[in-house]
Amino acid sequence: MKKQRHPAFDGKLALVTGAGSGIGRATALLFADLGARLVLCDRNPEGLQETARILREKGVDVLTESVDVSDWAAMQALAGRVHGKVGALDILVNNAGVATSGDFLSTPVEDWSWVFGINVMGVVHGCKVFGQRMVQNGGGHIVNIASAAGYYAAPEMSAYSASKHAVMGLSESLRLEMAEFGVGVSAICPGVINTNIVSAMRTNGAMVQSQGKVVDIYRKRNYGPEKVAEAIAEAVIHNRAVVPVSPEAWVLYAGKRLMPGVMDAVQRTRLFRRLKP
């Protein structure tokens, strides 16, 4: 999309979680080009400040907040600071997320708690602490970053897939509830995007030896987070419900609905073997 001011963003206040790298950083940069005022959050202060530095060098004034989205008290405090300093949000992007891999029996319960705390409860917390003010103000838009794994579960990714299915369900339910208050809700499903989420994921079982291969696949695929940022902006502008982004995300989205048995067979064989050690 053209990087020029747009009425859906110009002068609007947007908050992006996980803004220290990847999709979050790309989204912040695009929103700034479209004219938005920005609040950027991340639990990694170094990455967060780097994103802020890039924006400030462009003359964009941003508010930064270090926060762990899985911490309910911290998110409540964040909302209090944001509302007190700059007011109610017009756009919320719940982007912060982590990944796990490994067969179900090898994945410890602690990893389930970790991934659900950030991927699910982090989204719940964001929607809770900022959604109420959007309703009171009579409008806004919430964007939740889900995944192609949110509608097509992959083997050896049960915890991650379950967390993203939960984000999809929350987003679809919340969209129906919020519509009467003028608040849109979108679920974005990126697909294979070249960010650091795979290199940083927790691996278990046979996937410990495969992590390098998966990272290499994502690197060679080289489908950048800027594509996802553009999809997020379009979702806000057009109030889209579910937005697959990469070509494979669209294929899986269509295939799961039109020929689920065939897609499951493919996942169990060729792609599954490709990612095995």
Distance CA(271)–CA(277), nearest Å, equals: 12
Distances in Å between the alpha carbon of 149 and those of 63, 78, 156, 166? Answer: 32, 29, 11, 11
Which residues, including other chains, have CB under 8 Å from residue 233's CB and lie 6 or more apart?
Answer: 1, 6, 8, 9, 27, 30, 31, 34
Contact between 34 and 3 (Cβ < 8 Å) = yes
- Nearest CA-CA partner of 197 in 155, 129, 149: 149
Is 218 an annotated catalytic residue? no
Helix (H, G, I), strand (E, B) or coil at 243: strand
Instruction: Provide the percentage of residues in the chain whose pLDDT is more than 70.
Output: 85
Query: What confidence score (pLDDT) does residue 197 get?
Result: 74
Of 64, 73, 22, give the one whose Cα is nearest residue 43.
64
pLDDT score, position 79: 98
Residue 12 structure tokens: 């609007």
The model's pTM: 0.90
Q: Could you tell me the sign of the dihedral formed by the alpha carbons of 161, 25, 232, 78, in that order?
A: positive
Please count the residues of the chain: 277
DSSP string, 193-208: --STTTTTSEE-TTHH
Q: Say how far residue 68 (Cα) sits from the centre of its chain.
A: 15
CB 263, CB 152: distance < 8 Å: yes
Cβ proximity of 232 and 93 under 8 Å: yes
CA 56 – CA 52 distance, rounded (Å): 6
How much is the average pLDDT of 164-179?
98
Q: Which of 160, 216, 213, 212 is nearest to 190 (CA)?
A: 160
| pLDDT mean across residues, the chain | 90
151, 152, 160, 218: the catalytic one is 160
Task: Please compute Rg for the chain using Cα positions.
Answer: 18
Tell me what pLDDT residue 270 has.
47
Q: Give per-residue pLDDT as tens, 100-158.
A: 999 999 999 999 999 999 999 999 999 999 999 999 999 999 999 999 999 988 788 99
Residue 75: per-residue pLDDT: 98
pLDDT of residue 254: 86
pLDDT in tens, 72-112: 999 999 999 999 999 999 999 999 999 999 999 999 999 99
In this prediction, residue 264 has a pLDDT band, given cuts at 50, 70 and 90, of: low
- Residue ranges and CATH numbers for the domains of the chain are 13-250 (3.40.50.720)
Sign of the Cα torsion 117, 107, 46, 149 reads negative
Q: Are 47 and 20 in contact (CB under 8 A)?
A: yes
38-51 pLDDT, tens per residue?
999 999 999 999 99
